[in-house]
Chains A and B, each alone.
Chain A
């Protein structure tokens, strides 16, 4: 029988009894054919590949990352706790050295879920990678992580969560926001004052194929990673860059995803989007499993694969070359860019409008980050939605200095309760999560 070169843990949890709605892309059927393919290929019999059931994430895991409005219980279903728990289980298998790598094939996805959660956006309610990574830091201590998001949609949730965290490098490949939901992910979204340059967006033109994706990886992502030197690489393995995906316009392939995964060499991969449930997912997931296990994936091909049809145009190739150069230069100059941006400001504020496409909610938000020389700085969110329930939330970051901790508690204590439905304090130093209502 086959023996995998790398010990690989797989959490395969298709949640066959959960859907957003019966005909929604995020429905029971989504991983059915993927499971069929994995079973039929006999992956479960390969030595060194081990399958795990998800754990179930707990409330504190969610509070560590999100401000759920009105509360965790009303926003987050058991299915979401299991999906995040599946990612957590995968991470634990790696951290406990039971396996060398792990892949969480779970649903629903999470990379559009931001810090504040009024509802479901982009089929996501909680950010399963972030919930996983923060659980892992709490359990195993400090680690520098890179999250590489290969979903076709901008990972705007993950960007928001790690906006001001230089211990988490976030890199997102995606179809240009001018042509696809959520409409963000441009190269000038570069991180908060405490982590400027550690949020890297790579908006790719529609029609990008194997050549383009692998060019970006080789010439931009891998060089940046080798300079950043993360302890852990996490791949948000969305699969909707595939040429058969119904919601996007890219030309990536199953073999390409496997090759990308092989080169990226992540410790943990977590499934994100991808809704070509028959034509792409069975083959892409198989390719990723084989690549992570160190097995031969050269025979992984879609039934209708046609290299001529999928060849990327010269124009796209040129565009991507220039884009990569531009982004890499910005990365090299990130300290200078930060200096010019911050100058002598004490606080940096950004205003945003966030649309929850799945639930049809519009949120208006102001984030304020303290510029602190000792830590990434205490920060605040003031938010309201078109359904009401205005909130105020304070975050004391993991690396907060003692004065930022004190300031966080003071702000929480002094806030004018009359103005808000609910006020939150997220004290990540002490893993304590408080809230109060008027």
Chain B
């Protein structure tokens, strides 16, 4: 049996899956003052009467880190930043205390100027004086050569905890994001640690021995232990849970648009050849963009309970939700009222819904039913316009080779997948508006919890090889080693796949589920003075987001 749990802003959903079938679900409101209790509140009814020994795995999608950031209940962090020449540095100040130090590594990972030990000692003193324990260290181009960060860690590690080193959060080049990601990781570290410790305690109490993982924003999982070191990767896993859940019900290998229509918002994501699309660099949270790998998801303020009014003879939906639909004694007309009037859903008080539509219809010279139709058409149109705008942006993402510019993949969705309360009611309307088939699962209870339950472990590594300097670096793994001068792209590829497998095992992946792939590879001749002095090889390898299996079957899908 697999247990999946998704803690959202409003509810905690949990699901128990056995041999591809949902055997139990539960849902309770999230208690923000006691998130741990919320988890056990949802798990208790799910597991009562089950044999804890039969639980094979348990995956949690939690808002614990996200909440801490949004509610600004994080630990104060002392930032040690090696910014070098380039942009002005003030905007990098994200910690309680921000200390900029000398030293510089260049784009090929060569030390241009060393760090000054006394500067670090002085920084330590300052942080101690301010009672700061959590530290993050980030240097420009540290992914190319982590020596400075590692040496600073040596000097600080006995006096500070936790310490996040910039090169370990991601191998990608983006110094400001490296600073911010390292900051967040140290800021939520103890919050997450306390959470995971109490999870372990509770599991012991309940006699559950199954491995526990947490969902990441990229729709993959990592073990709770790995989460303790890099809790920043658990931020904003909610949209990932629902996209992965949608995939459990609506398998496809095509390009598709994925919509999760909720009460207040609609989340828009995309699938490329059936695989959820990722943000190119990482997700933004609070004021700062990060290098946290995440699924691409954009939220717009249109949902079943959005307020509807008429302005200048036009229907305006959202972006606010003012309360429940009028059919449930809410303050203003909503798309849900329109669905009730048209008989697309049956719930609430129909005559109250009718009077809501009458109110709108009178302003447009339409009968209530026509007004209801017009509202849902407008809603579909708004979603479509946004989806098309996003697609245009995605399809014009920068490329850097002639081949990609001429023949690169463009996403052309031939399918819409929709989940959420109004999915069934909206599917035919969306189909008409987009002009492509729209599918929704007949049963999609706790889709987000299902998504968490069935998600595979994901991982990514960045490999940077410079044969002229005889260096190989995989920053995410803290791997910096010497290689031979005639190291080839072929060797690099094999090594990358091998390392990625190691990395994903460390994150908790089981052998059978590891499907590593190379997503980018480049090999450049380094030519100096008209002679080739070496090769500059860059490889990015990943295990893409996916499910251990789906809950597919014709009976599940409509549309």
Contact = CB atoms under 8 A, between A and B. Distances in A.
A45 B289 contact: yes
Nearest to B529: A246
A17 interface: yes
A303 B87 contact: no
A79 to B, nearest CB: 6
A181 interface: no
A300 B400 contact: no
B532 A53 contact: no
A13 interface: yes
A299 B85 contact: yes
B406 interface: yes
Interface in B246-302: 281, 287-289
A228 interface: no
Contacts of B91: 1-2
Interface stretch (A35-43, A338-346, A370-378, A429-437): A35-43
A105 to B, nearest CB: 11
B530 A53 contact: no
A22 interface: yes
A282 interface: yes
A45 B402 contact: no
B108 interface: yes
Interface in B305-333: none
B525 A82 contact: no
B524 interface: yes
Given A42-B177, A78-B406, A300-B85, A12 B108 contact: no
A290 B399 CA distance: 22
A23 B174 CA distance: 30
Interface string A278-301: 100011001000100001101111
Nearest to B522: A16
A290 B87 contact: yes
A33 to B, nearest CB: 5
B53 interface: no
Interface in B163-178: 172-177
B50 interface: no
Contacts of B398: 12, 51-53
B527 interface: yes
Contacts of B85: 283, 299-303
Contacts of B189: none
B398 to A, nearest CB: 5
Contacts of A15: 400-402
A42 B536 contact: no
A40 B107 contact: yes
Interface string A43-67: 0110000011110100000000000
B536 A32 contact: yes
Interface in B402-443: 402-403, 405-406
B174 A39 contact: yes
Contacts of A301: 85
A53 B107 CA distance: 24
A28 interface: yes
Given A28-B525, A39-B173, A23 B532 contact: yes
B524 A28 contact: yes
B532 A303 contact: no
Contacts of A41: 86-87, 175-176
B87 A299 contact: yes
Given A17-B403, A23-B532, A82-B402, A29 B525 contact: yes
B358 interface: no
A40 B174 contact: yes
Interface residues of B, number: 43
A303 B288 CA distance: 29
A27 B87 contact: no
B100 to A, nearest CB: 11
B141 interface: yes
Interface in B517-532: 522, 524-527, 529-532
Q: Which of B88, B89, B108 has the most CB of A within 10 A?
A: B88
Interface residues of A, number: 48
Interface in A15-31: 15-18, 22-23, 27-29
A28 B406 CA distance: 17
A53 B526 CA distance: 26
Mostly helix, strand, loop or mixed at chain A's interface?
Answer: loop
A36 B107 contact: yes
Contacts of A27: 525, 527
A14 interface: yes
B334 to A, nearest CB: 34
A283 B91 CA distance: 20
A107 to B, nearest CB: 11
Interface in B96-122: 104, 106-108, 112-113
A299 B104 CA distance: 13
B532 A22 contact: yes
Nearest to A3: B91
B401 A33 contact: no
A116 to B, nearest CB: 26
Contacts of B175: 40-42
Q: Which of B87, B173, B403 has the most CB of A within 10 A?
A: B87
B432 to A, nearest CB: 33
A24 B536 CA distance: 16
A35 B172 CA distance: 13
Contacts of B536: 29, 32
Contacts of B402: 15, 17-18, 78-79, 82
Given A1-B289, A36-B107, A303-B112, A13 B177 contact: no
Contacts of B540: none
B396 interface: yes
B140 interface: yes
Contacts of B526: 29
A416 B175 CA distance: 65
B400 A13 contact: yes
B114 to A, nearest CB: 13
A36 B462 CA distance: 14
Contacts of A53: 396, 398-399, 405
A337 B141 CA distance: 56
A331 B398 CA distance: 43
Given A39-B174, A53-B405, A82-B405, A300 B525 contact: no
Contacts of B524: 16, 28-29, 32
Contacts of B88: 295-296, 298-299
A385 B26 CA distance: 83
Contacts of B140: 40
Contacts of B112: 303-304
Q: Which of B86, B113, B527 has the most CB of A within 10 A?
A: B86
A45 B393 CA distance: 15
Nearest to B175: A40
A282 B107 contact: yes
B388 to A, nearest CB: 18
Given A13-B405, A36-B107, A41-B176, 11 more contacts: A1-B176, A2-B91, A13-B400, A15-B401, A28-B524, A29-B525, A29-B527, A37-B86, A39-B172, A39-B173, A302-B85
18 contacts: A1-B287, A1-B288, A2-B87, A22-B532, A29-B527, A36-B173, A40-B173, A40-B175, A41-B87, A44-B174, A51-B398, A78-B402, A286-B86, A290-B87, A295-B87, A299-B85, A300-B85, A303-B85
The 7 A-B residue pairs with the shortest CB-CB distance, nearest first, are: A42-B176, A303-B112, A39-B173, A301-B85, A296-B88, A17-B401, A40-B173
